[in-house]
Amino acid sequence: MIRVNEVKLSLDEDISLLKEKIAKKIKIHPKEIISYKIFRESIDARRNNISFVYSVDVELKNEEKVLRKNKQVKESPKLSYEDVIEGNEKLIHRPVIIGTGPAGMFAGLILAQRGYRPILLERGQDVDTRSKDVENFWKMGKLNLESNVQFGEGGAGTFSDGKLTTRIKDIRCRKVLNEFVNFGAPEEILYAQKPHIGTDILKIVVKNMRKAIEDLGGEVHFGSKVTDFCIENGKIKALEVNKNTKIEATEVILAIGHSARDTYEVLHEKGIQIRQKPFSIGVRIEHPQKIINKSQYKQFAEHPRLGAADYRLTYQSKNQRAIYTFCMCPGGVVVAAASEENMVVTNGMSEYARNKENANSALLVQVNTEDFGDDHPLAGVRFQRKWESLAFKLGGNNYFAPAQLVGDFLKDRPSKELGSVKPSYLPGVKLTRLKECLPDFVVETMKEGLIEMDKKLKGFAMKDAVMIGVETRSSAPIRIERDQNTMESVNVKGLYPIGEGAGYAGGIISAAVDGIKAGERIIKKYMPLL
């Protein structure tokens, strides 16, 4: 196979022309092409024109000749994931994984695939029960503390846009995407520049993954919260589940996500080494999707092949704070993502079609550990809780979120009525003044950032855009220290802190990759179970 880059199709040219274009690019007859596979499809929207640009892996009758003649063409790199070699130590107990987010699920999958029959413990519910619980919260304002947007099968990202982009470069990313396709995601995620699958498809994928783990001899237990860790002589010995059951375990993958604050407290009490970590807080901002399409695609906006446009904006403020948009959801909705009583937390999600009226994104300002005002390892959690509970009060003590129009926010006056943008957040929003639930430095940075970002994306600071507070869970406020090589906690052997909650991932793909790596550590050390 050879890799041919920069093959272009205009917006109105059909994909069926690709073969002809490849042949033209490498100066051969189309008949010499045996087969081809798109490796990457991206959109080039520069210079007042929009085209699709492809990298393609092509099988030819005479590859040697083309490689010799055309210096820009190279052999396709090998992308397949190589299984690690099993170790020869004997496992005393089945490996246990705490949490079924992407980190825990992928650790579970790889261990199950290799014959280690893992046991997965999840405090939340299976995805169908969880969907009903989440719906109940969004429609009725009744929060289930163990089954919500943060907790349950599939983890925090199940109710999400399902963006599968990452900045990490790791061959395992490909394995993750391939598994997603095996379990029901569309093939296009293998080549799209910015792949996404949406909440509707994610729910199917996580359910199929769980079934595969079970079919391979693994077990998945919902409603099973790990409430204590039994540690002896610096080694994990057992876990307590729901305060009433003990499970003996010597290899435990800890994939609890960033919202398991009660579990963080238990880990801290048990002396597991944790340190503070910077993160970001801010709001969700909602615009009409049409405005974003127009700004990004100009006269081509609403072209059927383009779909809903996205954006990513960053700015360094005069006070040296980074402000940026994060987890942008084209054609999506803002969601209530609290997991504790009397707190308001926002986030965003979309379906695969991304066809809702509004676009939303987090607008976040960097928070440093000095801002926590305390050197306790969990001071970042207290900091998050402070703003989440202020937002709850400001929203009217009923899980409505406080909201303000951008025009009013910039003029420092409370919002009294909505303009042209109808906020999508459920159970609802209360118009107010957001500065009462955000630190001063965040408010100042946002005022400056909104104006600057509007210069890059016209309409970003439109006066009717709605800001909904508060977004506090973009990443973990702690890091659970682990050994770089073994991935075990630095002071508890057999405990592998992984994923977003332990401070080693930020997003679905990087969490999943961390999960695979942890699974590999166990495989390399031990023999499979019979």
Distance CA 148, CA 251 (A): 28
Q: How far is the CB of 161 from ligand FAD (least distance, A)?
A: 4
Distance CA 350, CA 481 (A): 34
User: Could you identify the residue written with the tokens 């299984």?
Assistant: 83
147: helix, strand or coil:
coil
Per CB under 6 A, the segment of 4-12, 157-165, 273-281, 445-453 that binds ligand FAD is: 157-165
Q: 66 or 502, CB closer to ligand FAD?
A: 502
Distance CA 336, CA 252 (A): 31
Among 41, 57, 122, 488, binds ligand FAD (CB under 6 A): 122
Residue 99 sits in the site that holds ligand FAD (CB under 6 A): yes
Q: State the CB neighbour count (10 A cutoff) for residue 137.
A: 21
Q: How far is the CB of 211 from ligand FAD (least distance, A)?
A: 17
The structure tokens listed for 505 are 């991932």
Binding mask 251-280 for ligand FAD (x = CB under 6 A): ----xxx--x--x-----------------
Crossing angle, helix 102-113 and helix 172-182, to 10 degrees? Answer: 80
Per CB under 6 A, the segment of 156-164, 210-218, 414-422, 428-436 that binds ligand FAD is: 156-164
431: helix, strand or coil:
strand
Cα→Cα distances 349→355, 359, 468, Å: 12, 10, 14
Q: How far is the CB of 332 from ligand FAD (least distance, A)?
A: 9
Q: How far is the CB of 174 from ligand FAD (least distance, A)?
A: 16
Residue 156 sits in the site that holds ligand FAD (CB under 6 A): yes
Among 121, 213, 401, 457, binds ligand FAD (CB under 6 A): 121
User: Could you identify the residue written with the tokens 């006070």?
Assistant: 319
Distance CA 459, CA 240 (A): 52
Q: 66 or 338, CB closer to ligand FAD?
A: 338
User: Could you identify the residue written with the tokens 């406080």?
Assistant: 402
Residue 300 sits in the site that holds ligand FAD (CB under 6 A): no
Q: How far is the CB of 380 from ligand FAD (least distance, A)?
A: 16
Burial class (CB in 10 A: 0-12, 13-18, 19+), 29: exposed
Q: Which of 520, 521, 519, 501 is nearest to 511 (CA)?
A: 501
Q: 260 or 391, CB closer to ligand FAD?
A: 260
Q: Which of 92, 134, 44, 105 is nearest to 349 (CA)?
A: 134
Q: 22 or 337, CB closer to ligand FAD?
A: 337
Residue 225 sits in the site that holds ligand FAD (CB under 6 A): yes
Q: 284 or 435, CB closer to ligand FAD?
A: 284
Q: How far is the CB of 104 from ligand FAD (least distance, A)?
A: 5
Pairing of strands 322-329, 252-254: unpaired
Per CB under 6 A, the segment of 36-44, 85-93, 117-125, 207-215 that binds ligand FAD is: 117-125
User: Please, which of residues 463-522 interact with ligand FAD by CB under 6 A?
Assistant: 499-501, 505-509, 511
The structure tokens listed for 243 are 């305060």
Residue 226 sits in the site that holds ligand FAD (CB under 6 A): yes
Angle at 394 between CA 389 and CA 397, to 5 degrees: 70
Q: 317 or 489, CB closer to ligand FAD?
A: 489
Say if residues 104 and 152 touch (Cβ distance below 8 Å).
no
Residue 95 sits in the site that holds ligand FAD (CB under 6 A): no
Residue 338 sits in the site that holds ligand FAD (CB under 6 A): no
Q: 36 or 106, CB closer to ligand FAD?
A: 106
Q: State the CB neighbour count (10 A cutoff) for residue 491.
A: 15
Cα→Cα distances 277→3, 124, 237, 370, 379, Å: 41, 26, 28, 10, 10
Residues lying near ligand FAD in the complex (CB under 6 A): 98-104, 121-124, 149, 151-152, 155-157, 159-163, 225-226, 255-257, 260, 263, 327, 335, 337, 347, 349, 499-501, 505-509, 511
